[in-house]
Structure formats: structure tokens, C-alpha cells
Chain A
Amino acid sequence: MTYLLWGLVCCFLAAVAASLPSAYRVRATATLGAIGCALALSASLDTLIRGSVDTVHTARLLPTFGLTLSLDPLGALFVLAAAFVGFASCIYCVGYARDEMKSRSALTLLMIFIFALLAVPVAASIVSFMFFWELMAVCSMLLILTDQRHSRDARSASLWYGVLTQLGAASILFGFLLLTTHGGGQTFADLTHQASMLSPTVRSFAFVLTLLGFASKAGAVPLHVWLPKAHPEAPSPVSALMSSTMVALGVYGIVRVGFDLLGGGTVWWWVAVASFGAVSALYGALHATTATDLKRLLAYSTIDILGLVLVGVGAAGALVDSGHLGVGELALSAAFLLVLAHAGFKGALFFAAGSIERSTGTRDLDRLGGLVHTMPFTAVIFALGACSIMAVPTLSGFSSEWLLLQGLLHGFTDQSTPALIVMLVGVIALALTGGLTAVAFVKAFGIGFLGQARSRDAYSAPDAALSMKVAMTILIIPSFVIGILPGLVIPLVERAAQVGLSTDSRSPVLRGVGLELSHFRGTIEPALLLIGFVIVLTILLAFSRGLANRKARRVDAWGCGRDVQTSRMQYTATSFAEPLQRVFADVLRPKTDVEVTHVAESRYYEQSLLYQNRISDALEQHGYRPIIDATLFVGRAARRLQNGSVHRYLAFGFVALLMVLVVLA
């Protein structure tokens, strides 16, 4: 805990250091921030290994209520993710920070953002939690505007995010307030006591209110609208932090309130959480396949993965409710493992996308291509990250999805109908998103990095700076650790899951070379699979060397008889996803216009052809638009009352006074 506090102090000092002269501003800030994150990292690891709980209360820092911080394994898991990605972001910034990102305000905000990310999971009272939560929201909202202050998209994204996150925070606050109605304590320890005295209806109300707020932060459909707008517009270190750790704090909130404070509640809570998750997973995966903006694609895939995490949390809740503690713990461990894995590979992917944006000035896949030749390092990192997220065996996405599937599969032993529905929905979501994610990331890598450059910028793009390469490498390491030796990480997530569910049951996953379930038959040994794969690959390499001793001759690609192959003849991201877009046209609602202009002399010859294809979020168009329009209409109507005339305001005052008198009389 002491280390964590020092880490927070370091992050705060880093924020102060951001006002140094610009010559050494970035390095000083990044160094202090990295030290702070490293301290927080060691504190969280220590807590996860020892399973200790430390609480600090100080009355001085926040007026009236004081600040209560408590580091337990559940919170430590999320501190771990935030500190790890924060550490890498600080390093990444050294090479990335230019122009706007180098300004005092941006660096200060970034450090306070990291500070808040580290503090939210350890806040242990309503006031401290809401304080850090709002700090996190405000900083990230302002950071979205850093790089593209003048673009309309960035402003609109920031506004959407601001409105949704504030509504969410209000909802969370109401939920917390309901919990304090019996007795006045506001620390989480007090709430646990008071919650047990509340009626089930009030508890359910409180849970639903907090769930709405936290689910919106976790990007759960239909409260996700801000996410695919905000993540692409933010500078890449911020996108990485938002996508890999901030959204995970939504999951943290659900687990903390649902399991820890309210002690599990009833089964339909968790059916709701799992349905949120399954819908998000499918919706996110589907939109990721058709997105052509690289960072938007990554943002949608965040919605997808967080959806799967929520499925795991929901399954755990449903199983614990019917008394299957062991399987429940398994499902929750799987969800947490997925959170950790996602923090690593999604951070690396956003860093890679950021270095592409830095080098080429665009993140539109239809204008990229051939980057594997010009940016080989970034290409390798992106390929590894993509393989992890596609759950290629022996990488982290695979281990965590395997564990999640085992949780769901053995959850079928449960006999209660709601639990069975949760498991079934979860299995369907897991299966369907697997294939769709593969399409999305084959598209992202194949169109963005392979083939020929589709624009001049992509043709001559320099690779990332050294510090950016280091940061990307750091974030890709967990993909291998969790993937090849999951046994090293499983004890940590299990500890967090046990604290979350307040059990001390026998650990459901045995370790060894790989993962082995202790109550059921199920094993994977990724390390051995990898050895087998490498052996076969070596044999094939040796074989092909011996066979065709000469180097491959370079020839023109087969052009179907045409001499000239230009880069415009390649498939683009749009055309790659077209078949799926057609299959799922009912959900995606694409708007396609084809405009053909004919030659004046003959109707049979075409002069030009204009093809436009746009996919906007259907939920935003049909769900949010009407609400916004109605609000604007009411606002305009209200404006008519105010015409600036003093006489009218006096009249309003008089009428209001009369009405008050009438009511009182």
C-alpha cells in the first residue's frame, strides 16, 4: 500500500513536471510517470500474491468526508492492468509527443488521468470513489480534444462521451445513495453492512442504477455510443489507456458493487449482465468487421472483448447464485484473465495504430497498405497483437477464451433455467465472435500492412521511434506470458476472483505446464503445443531449404493477362468486408449510393461512377437521435420564454410568487 501511495505521489509530481520548459518537459514527465506506475505495479503484484488488504484513511485530503483508500486483491488486479499500460504509455509518449500532445495541458491531463486510473480501484468510500471516477472522466474527455482540437469529429466525440459519462456517473451516485439509506456510513465496509438490512427491491434498484453507469463505461450495447467515437479521436497513448484499462473499470464497478457490496443478489441481475455482454460482444465484433478506420475497428473490438468479460461475470453471478461456487470462481477468473490479456494486446494494437497515424497521417485502411515493408517493427507488433485477439493458440487471447469456455461449459451442470440460459447465450456469443474477430483482424493486417501502398504517405512511412518500439514490446509480452505459461498468472486472477466472490474454496484451476481444471476434465498445455508447432515448422523449413536450395525468383503477380497491376486494383478494407456487410445488412444498415454518369453520345458507355458506402451506428441513428431531437425541441421551445425583456422576467417573478402564495394558502 505504501508503494502505491508513493506511486500516486509520483504520478502527481509528473503532472507538476509537465509545466517545465519544453526542452526536457516530456522526458521528465514520462520518467516520473513511469516510476509512479512501476511502484503501483509492484504494490498491486505484492497484494495479489499475498492476498492482503490494506486500508488508509485520511481526513485531511478531501474536505468533510476524508479520503478512504483500500488495496485488496480485487482492486489490485485492476491497478495492475492500469499501472502496466500506464508505464508503457509514459515510455511511448517520449517518442510520440509532438505538437499538441507535447503541450503542458495535455501532459498534465495525461498524468492526472493515469493517477485517477490507479486510484479508482483502491477508493473505498463513496466520496473518494466518485471523486476519482469523475477525475478520470473529465481528464479523458479533455484529452480526446488534444490532437484534433479543431476537427468536428473530435468535438462531437468529446461531447458524446461527456454527456454519457456524466449520466452514468449520476446513475452510479444515485445507486450508492440508495445503499446509504439505512445508517449513514459511506465507506464500502459500512455499505456492506447496511446493504444486508435493505429490502431486496431497494437493493435491486441500487444494483440496476450502478449497473447502468458501469455498463456505459464498459461500452455495453446500447450504452456504447461514445466509445467508437471517443477512442479513435484521442491521442494513441490515451486511446490505449481508455480502451485497455478505463473500460475495464466498468467491469470492476459491477463486480465490486454486485458481489462485494451487495453479496451476489438475485439471479436475474446476472442474467442482465450476461445479456448486456452477449449483445455487446456480437454487436462489437460485427461492426469491427466493417470498420475501415483502424482505430475505430480497435474500439469496436474493445466492445466485443468487454462483452465477453461481462458474459464471464454474468455467468459467475448466476452460478454462485445457485450454489456452484467452484465453477462460478472459474468463470470470474476467466473474465479477469481476459481483462489482463486484453489490457496487453489492445494497448499494443493501439500503440501500433498510433505509430501508423504518426508516420502516414491517416488511419483509414483504404489509404494504407504495404506497411510491412516500410514499418516492419510496427507490423510485427500488430501481427502479434492481432493473433492474440484472434485467439491463435499459445497466445493470451486463446488461454483466456479457453478458460471462459470451460467456465460456461461446466456451468451447464447447473440445473436452474436462468443459469442455463446465461451459459447458452455465452457459448453462442463466444463462438460467433471468434469467427467475426478473425475477419476483422485479417482485414486490418492484410489490407493495412500487406499488398501495395494505396497512398503516397503509406509508401514512404518511417517506422516508429525507439521509445515507441520499446513501449509496444513491453505491452506485447503479456500475450506470450499469459499464452504460453498461463500457470504463472492464474494464481493472481484466482485470488482476485476469490476476494470478489468472498470464498476461499479450493482453487478450481491447477497449474503445471499449462492449465488443468481440478473439478472437471479439461487441460491445455500451450507450452508443449508450441514446442510441437516449432518442431514441425523447423522440419518444414529444413525440408524446403534442402529441396529448393535457391532463393525464390521475384516475378510479377498474376494479373489475368493484364500488363499493369496498380495498387488501385487491390481489394480494399471496404471490399473485403462487403460480403459480411451484405449478410448482416439488417443489423448494420449500410447506406450505399451508386451514381452512374453516362457518356452523352450513348447510354451504353459510362463516363464516371461514384460509389459511396457508409455504415453508421444504427443504434445511434434510431435510438439516440430521437431523444436528442426531442431535447433540442424542448430547448428551443423554452428559449421562446426568454426574450431578454426585463418586463417579462418581472412578470414571470410575479406570477411565480402568486402561485407560491396560492399553493401555501
Chain B
Amino acid sequence: MGSASSTLYESLASIFQVLLIMVLGPLLLGFMAKVKARAEGRVGAPVTQILRDMRKLLTKERLHARHASAVLALAPMVIVAATAVAVAISPLVTTRPLLGRSADILVIVYLLLTGSVASALAGLDAGTAFGGIGSSRAMTIGALSEPALLVAVIALSIQSGTSNLPAIINATMSHPDWVAGPSRLLALVALVIVVIAETGRLPVDNPSTHLELTMIHEAMVLEYAGPDLALVTLGAAMRLGLLFALLSNLFFSWGIARHLSFLDVFVGGAVLVAKTLLIALGIALVEIRSAKLRLFRLPELLAGGFVLSVLAVITGLVTR
């Protein structure tokens, strides 16, 4: 296979990943809502509800707040674009996406951070109290959870000797005994906490609340309506899809396509959907049983996640 055609295949794989996550993210959100509704004895909205909402929002008028600047208009696109680049280069369906060489953990973390920064700035742009509340809280939580994300993945990179995500996954697949190691388990727990915080699930943030004083993400994006809101929702859903997919692939990599044949990529996509649905099911079940934590109890949870990830690094160093 020539280099030009392999680049073509890699591009196609990346585009497939982006499209898959664009659909899978909203579906995962709908699936979690459905599971929660069923567990509470309700029928609940259909799984495709978020996608339907987005389609409806796209046909609506664009409204911008009077004092807002270009930041408010640009932020949704920056959020989606940064997340889409992160999705395109991450090893989700295949370990050989386009620019997979650059899929360094720092790149992914800081692309996600770019998205958070854009939405926090958009929250402040209209000059209202709610936007400020949301931005301030979201940034506070982000400041505590992103370090844990970074350090937890570094714990994995110590074993594989690189911080490149496809390389970490390849190394994991050739050393199945690493998966059950103490360092991996600690990092896994830390990452689960981080993923819950970063995607705004209970007990960190309540995705279904619209009670002003408890909202975090919803308060930040309160000024958005119409197509802009559709993009913001899409960005948040893709972020969730990406984090779930990374969580599943870093620890249970099997099924991911290591060669770019149609069959492998198809199987990779199907396995990814199955794995993320399982994670979504688990998180939905946890959400049913937990109440939202008080904002000022959150740092304890997130600091716990950070300490676990540091312990994972130390354990990794001691046991290698």
C-alpha cells in the first residue's frame, strides 16, 4: 500500500470516527436518559430525542444577546471544531487514524480544554449573572479534573514508554497482563471520576436540571438558542462520546481495528458502540442511585481522583 493511498484510508477512517461520534454522542445521552426513566418506572423520551431536538433547533432563528461580542457567535464552532479534531486523531475505531502520530495525550487534553475555555468565555460574554455562575463553576471543576485526567493517562504511558495514545493502545494489546495491574486499576478509577466530572454527569452536575442555582453547564450556555444551541449540544455530546470511547479503549482495547480494511473498521465501530453503551449503562445506573453533591464537596471527590492518579503513577514506577 503506497503512502498516498494509506493517507487516504486514514483520512476516511478519521472522517468515519467523527461522523460516528457525532451520532453516537447524542444517542448515548438519550440512552442514559432512557435507562434512568425506565428504572424510575417511566417510559421516557425516545433514545433519539437529542438528535430530534438538534434538528428542530437548526430550523429556528438565531438570537444573540445585546451586549455580546463575536465570542458568543464563534464559541459553538470552536467547541465543535476542537472536539472534532480530537475525535479525528484519537484511536477510537482504529489505531491508525489520520495524524495518529500527533494523538498525544497532551494534545487531546488541551483540545478539550480549548473547548471548555471557549464555552466559559461565551458564558461571560452576555454579561449576565447566570453565565458567570456557570463559567466560574465549570472552570473550577475543570481546573481540578483536567490534572487528574492528564496524570492518569501518564500512569499508562509509563508502562508503554510513550504518551502517544495509539502507541499506548498497541502496547496494551500486545501485553494483556498489564490490564489487571494495580497501576491500571488505580488509573481506571481516577479516569472514571474525571470522565463523570468532565461530561457533567451526576453527582458532579445534573444534566437534566434547570434550577438556576444548581446548574453548571446549563447555566453557562443559557444564552444560546436555535442553531447555536444545537452546536453547543453537539459539542457537549461529542465530548462525552470521545471520553467514553477513550475510557473504553485505553483499558479494554480489544476489537479496535489495527488495519484499515473495511471489515476491521466496521467491526471496530460496532465494538466501540457496544463498549460505550456499556459504560453509559453503568453511569446511568450510578446516576439513579446518587444525588448531586454540594458544589463545595466536589473538590474532595476530584482531589480523590487526582490522588488516585498520582498513586497510579507511583505504583507504575514501583512495579515496572
Question: Is residue A420 within 8 Å, beta carbon to beta carbon, of the partner chain?
Answer: yes
Q: From residue 250 to 297 of chain A, which have CB atoms closer than 8 A to chain B?
A: 289
- In the complex, are the beta carbons of A435 and B102 less than 8 A apart? no
Question: Is residue A21 within 8 Å, beta carbon to beta carbon, of the partner chain?
Answer: no
- In the complex, are the beta carbons of A442 and B127 less than 8 A apart? no
- Point out the residue from A390, A452, A579 that lies within 8 Å of B140, measured CB to CB: A579
Q: What separation, in Å, do the CA atoms of A372 and B67 have in the docked complex?
A: 10
Question: Is residue A662 within 8 Å, beta carbon to beta carbon, of the partner chain?
Answer: no
- In the complex, are the beta carbons of A373 and B62 less than 8 A apart? no
- In the complex, are the beta carbons of A579 and B295 less than 8 A apart? yes
- In the complex, are the beta carbons of A438 and B104 less than 8 A apart? no
With most chain B CB atoms within 10 A of its CB, the pick from A420, A522, A547, A580 is A522
Question: Is residue A651 within 8 Å, beta carbon to beta carbon, of the partner chain?
Answer: no
Q: What separation, in Å, do the CA atoms of A406 and B125 have in the docked complex?
A: 36
Chain B residues lying within 8 Å of A406, measured Cβ to Cβ, are 163
Q: From residue 433 to 492 of chain A, which have CB atoms closer than 8 A to chain B?
A: 434-436, 438-439, 442-443, 445-447, 450-452
Interface residues on A, range: 35 or more
Question: Is residue A658 within 8 Å, beta carbon to beta carbon, of the partner chain?
Answer: no
Which of B29-37, B146-154, B247-255, B261-269 faces chain A?
B146-154
Q: From residue 123 to 176 of chain B, which have CB atoms closer than 8 A to chain A?
A: 123-133, 135-137, 139-140, 142-148, 150-151, 154, 157-158, 161-164, 167
- In the complex, are the beta carbons of A570 and B99 less than 8 A apart? no
- In the complex, are the beta carbons of B113 and A392 less than 8 A apart? yes
Q: What separation, in Å, do the CA atoms of A442 and B124 have in the docked complex?
A: 9
Q: What's the least CB distance linking B314 to chain A, in Å?
A: 7
Q: What separation, in Å, do the CA atoms of A635 and B121 have in the docked complex?
A: 52
Q: What's the least CB distance linking A454 to chain B, in Å?
A: 9
Please give me the residue from chain B that is nearest to A436 by CB atom: B143
- In the complex, are the beta carbons of A438 and B99 less than 8 A apart? no
Chain B residues lying within 8 Å of A533, measured Cβ to Cβ, are 81-82, 85
Q: What separation, in Å, do the CA atoms of A575 and B98 have in the docked complex?
A: 43
Q: From residue 158 to 199 of chain B, which have CB atoms closer than 8 A to chain A?
A: 158, 161-164, 167
- Point out the residue from B121, B212, B306 that lies within 8 Å of A446, measured CB to CB: B121
- In the complex, are the beta carbons of B158 and A582 less than 8 A apart? no
Chain B residues lying within 8 Å of A558, measured Cβ to Cβ, are 65, 128, 130, 222-223
- In the complex, are the beta carbons of B117 and A442 less than 8 A apart? yes
- In the complex, are the beta carbons of A523 and B104 less than 8 A apart? yes
Q: What separation, in Å, do the CA atoms of A575 and B140 have in the docked complex?
A: 12
With most chain B CB atoms within 10 A of its CB, the pick from A529, A553, A556 is A529
Known: A521-B164, A529-B102. A556 touches B65 (CB 8 A): yes
Which of A189-197, A209-217, A535-543 faces chain B?
A535-543
Would you give the 0/1 interface string for A178-214, flagging 1 where the beta carbon is closer than 8 Å to chain B? 0000000000000000000000000000000000000
Question: Is residue B58 within 8 Å, beta carbon to beta carbon, of the partner chain?
Answer: yes
Chain A residues lying within 8 Å of B89, measured Cβ to Cβ, are 529, 532
Q: What's the least CB distance linking B100 to chain A, in Å?
A: 9
Question: Is residue B61 within 8 Å, beta carbon to beta carbon, of the partner chain?
Answer: yes
Question: Is residue B42 within 8 Å, beta carbon to beta carbon, of the partner chain?
Answer: no
Please give me the residue from chain A that is nearest to B80 by CB atom: A540
Q: From residue 538 to 582 of chain A, which have CB atoms closer than 8 A to chain B?
A: 540-541, 544, 547-548, 550-560, 565, 567, 569-571, 575-580, 582
- Point out the residue from A402, A537, A578 that lies within 8 Å of B106, measured CB to CB: A402
Chain A residues lying within 8 Å of B227, measured Cβ to Cβ, are 544, 547-548
Residues of chain B having any CB pair with chain A under 8 Å: 58, 61-71, 73, 77-78, 80-82, 84-85, 88-89, 98-99, 101-102, 104, 106-107, 109-111, 113-114, 116-117, 120-121, 123-133, 135-137, 139-140, 142-148, 150-151, 154, 157-158, 161-164, 167, 212, 222-223, 226-227, 231, 295-296, 299, 306, 310, 313-314, 317
If A450-B71, A532-B98, A551-B62 are given as contacts, then 16 extra A-B residue pairs at C-beta distance below 8 Å, sorted by A number, are A390-B113, A391-B110, A391-B113, A424-B317, A427-B151, A438-B116, A439-B140, A521-B164, A522-B162, A528-B102, A529-B85, A533-B81, A559-B128, A570-B132, A571-B136, A582-B296
Residues of chain A having any CB pair with chain B under 8 Å: 289, 369-370, 372-373, 387, 390-393, 398, 401-402, 405-406, 409-410, 412-413, 420, 424, 427-428, 430-432, 434-436, 438-439, 442-443, 445-447, 450-452, 514, 516, 520-526, 528-529, 532-533, 536-537, 540-541, 544, 547-548, 550-560, 565, 567, 569-571, 575-580, 582-583
- 18 CB-based A-B contacts, threshold 8 Å: A289-B143, A405-B106, A424-B313, A432-B147, A446-B124, A521-B167, A522-B164, A528-B99, A532-B89, A533-B85, A548-B61, A557-B65, A558-B222, A559-B128, A560-B212, A565-B128, A578-B136, A580-B143
